[in-house]
A and B are shown apart, each in its own frame.
Chain A
Amino acid sequence: MKISIGDVVLPGDYCEEISQVAEKSKVIIGPGLRKEVDRVYITKPGVLKKRNPGTFWVDSYQKRYVPSRGENVIGVVVQKAGDIFRVEIGGSITAALSYLSFEGATKKNRPEVQVGDVVYAKMLVASKDMEPELVCVDSHGKKGRLGVLSDGFVFKCSLNLIRKILNPNCPLLETLKNEWPFEVAAGMNGRIWIKANSMRETIAVGNAILGAEYLNDEEIRSMCNNIAAILAGHVS
């Protein structure tokens, strides 16, 4: 069926608007879209979205993580195998993380990573036919925001929720950030790690994030203010 931007789409539908834009300029076709010889076809059910200039994707509900290059993910180290760590990231197979891809690591100076540690890493290689590969450094060899996550609390959620809270327009973190100190790491594989000073505060952050899944911006704001008020009342 022929569809346009903003419609609910199903696999097999096609969009002529994308082809029209592509005649004049470059277009980026994101997840859920596939260029065939004659048309651009939809491959996932969801809502067709567009961002100017010329970026298209299908916003679909998904819980299964499919690794893709350049994404930051949260994984659990499950095995040390010689030169690499095997990291469970929720994909079809475990990802490989070389012990040399940590800041300041050399063959003699191995990083201190144990089985069971939670790591925040960037997907370096994500191919259909190969084991995904992670790194904990950027191209300059600096660790930046990546590395082992110590303490804190990890929970799982849908991939949509991660995208929702990391959207620059989402009021969730904007409202919570002035309330109490906390740290959060959101992996594109549907895992969130949070850390706060007390258990009560940690649970409050976790509940706020999980509660935001089906709320609109206004409701998120009032929910966050509610949680903050309850927390402040109990603490003082």
Chain B
Amino acid sequence: MASRKKPQLPKSVLDMKFMKKTKDRIEKEIENTQDIEGLYSNVITNEMRHASGNYISESSFVYCEDLLEGRLSFKGMNPEIERLMALEYKKDDDDTSEIKKDVSDDILSKKMESLKKRKWSSSPSECIIKKKKNK
């Protein structure tokens, strides 16, 4: 692929006298790449070329089954490990609470208040809507 993208010299330049060595080299390169493609053409099938990447193989059970970390300590046997466990637990907790609340309480209360105000101010428009509904 990389060789195809390489900038190539125009033929007119290659035909010049002082470019003879370069011309020979380029011809040799082209010959070589063609040889390689020919060499494996019977081994590489079309299916191999078009094999899609929808399959990810994973040799470990840890990621398939979503297992716990294997090093654990309980009731203060190893405070260092327990600190790490607490940190991890806290992180998980934060994640779930964030998922539950898309909009925080503060923002929601402010928004609701502004909505209420708007209702007071925009009573005429409500009448219009009602009229429309009647039609």
**Residues of A bordering B, CB below 8 Å:** 22-23, 25-31, 33-35, 37, 40, 49, 51, 55-57, 66, 68-72, 120, 126, 144-146, 159, 162-163, 166-168, 173, 176-178, 180-188, 195-197
Residue in A22, A31, A33, A176 whose CB lies within 8 Å of B60: A31
Produce 1/0 per residue, B56-84, CB < 8 A to A: 11111111111111111111111001001
Residue in B57, B62, B68 whose CB lies within 8 Å of A29: B57
**A188 close to B77 (CB less than 8 A):** no
- Give the residue name and chain of the A residue nearest to B53 (CB): A26
B side interface size, CB within 8 A: 31
Residue in A29, A51, A126, A144 whose CB lies within 8 Å of B56: A29
**B55 close to A29 (CB less than 8 A):** yes
In angstroms, Cα B77 to Cα A177, docked, is 11
Interface of A is mostly: mixed
**B56 close to A27 (CB less than 8 A):** yes
**A28 close to B54 (CB less than 8 A):** no
**A184 close to B64 (CB less than 8 A):** no
**A31 close to B59 (CB less than 8 A):** yes
Q: Do A188 and B62 contact each other (CB < 8 Å), given the known contacts A145-B71, A181-B75, A182-B74?
A: yes
Residues of chain A lying within 8 A (CB to CB) of residue B59: 30-31, 66, 68-69, 126
Residues of chain A lying within 8 A (CB to CB) of residue B54: 22-23, 25-27
Residues of chain A lying within 8 A (CB to CB) of residue B65: 51, 57, 163, 167
Residues of chain B lying within 8 A (CB to CB) of residue A57: 58, 61, 64-65
Q: Separation in Å of the A57 CB from the closest CB of chain B?
A: 4
**B68 close to A68 (CB less than 8 A):** no
Residues of chain B lying within 8 A (CB to CB) of residue A163: 61, 65, 67
**B81 close to A196 (CB less than 8 A):** no
Can you show 30 pairs from A to B with CB atoms below 8 A apart? A27-B56, A28-B57, A30-B59, A30-B61, A30-B63, A31-B60, A37-B48, A37-B51, A49-B64, A51-B66, A55-B64, A57-B58, A57-B61, A69-B59, A71-B60, A72-B71, A126-B59, A159-B61, A163-B61, A166-B70, A167-B65, A173-B72, A183-B73, A183-B77, A184-B71, A184-B72, A184-B73, A188-B61, A196-B77, A197-B77
**B68 close to A166 (CB less than 8 A):** yes
